[in-house]
Structure 1
């Protein structure tokens, strides 16, 4: 197996943070934290972490992957279920029907450039979530996508997070 990692300066530049956006616009950060808390109210913590990990995988947000995989493991989630998330469609046996519906909805909302959220995806989620809970789930998916976009566009560096730091 060939190691494709490079040690040249261009690779280092690609992973260096671009800006400390939290320090530059602290009110936006604080408002996003409040929105995040309001969005997740009433949702199962384990399910929510799976959703946040899956959206972060799709968006290639290394910082959010670091945070949410660590939070999920700290709250008792199995490493096996976390590892299988990137292939959840082929690993359905690891997840409940409700979790599968949430993951499918997460992908549809996260990748809107592929088209609208299909009715069958929305309806499947609606079968497993009360209407208010579904609204919270959609809001949580929207919020993790916002966090991902800040993390990716500013190249927020992963690795320094410890669960319980929030």
Structure 2
């Protein structure tokens, strides 16, 4: 993989309607979800996608919201650190991994585990959140966003 320092398109300025639509979809996806769960999903997807920009942003946001530092360290190995996360969080993290790595599809057991932890509306919002963070990851990586910059999702 080749990284570049060459300037790339500023997506928000070049495609404002698409950017605003994505912000709207993201806001709608979060509706009714626990903010802690939202950050866990966004962090795990960003780890899997190798998006340093989004990972930095969401770890920082989780810290500001009071997330436990040890839990943040354990997200990448959540299966081996099960006692750090609730059953709902396990289900959401498993679903996040399956949807982010969609090539093999979402296994029935992963979907059933999530469906057992979330009602239909919550499950739809969790899925929508996974869709949006994957889109944000791809946008940040494709447009060369740099982790730790002040510019958020532009």
Q: Report 1:60-75 matches (<5 A).
A: 60-75=50-65
Q: Which has the larger radius of gyration?
A: 1
Cα deviation 1:16-38 (Å, max 9, x = unaligned): 55321221111111110000001
Aligned length: 151
Q: Name the counterpart of 1:146.
A: 135
- The 5 A counterparts of 1:60-139 are 60-113=50-103, 115-139=104-128
Q: Distance in 2 between matches of 1:79 and 1:142?
A: 26
Give TM-score, length-normalised by structure 2. Answer: 0.92
Q: 1:162 to 1:84 in 2, by over 3 A?
A: farther
Instruction: Return the offset for 1:123.
Output: 0.3
Unpaired runs of 5+ residues, structure 1, are: 1-10
For structure 1, which segment, 21-30 or 40-49, has the greater mean C-alpha deviation from structure 2 after superposition? 21-30
After superposition, give the CA deviation of every residue in 1:57-90 in whole Å (9 maximum; x if it has no partner). Answer: 0001111111111111111101111111111111
| Distance in 2 of aligned mates of 1:161 and 1:71 | 13
- Mapping 1:32-43, distance limit 5 Å: 32-43=22-33
Q: Contact conserved, 1:15 with 1:157, CA < 8 A, in 2?
A: no
Q: Distance in 1 between matches of 2:106 and 2:134?
A: 15
CA RMSD of aligned residues (A): 1.7
Preserved CA contact (<8 Å) 1:53 1:69: yes
Aligned pair 1:52/2:42, yes or no?
A: yes
User: Which residues of structure 2 form unaligned runs of 5+?
Assistant: none
Give CA deviations for 1:77-136 in whole Å, capped at 9, x if unaligned: 0111111111111111110111000000000000012x1100100000111101110000
User: Displaced runs of 4+ in structure 1, greater than 6 A?
Assistant: none
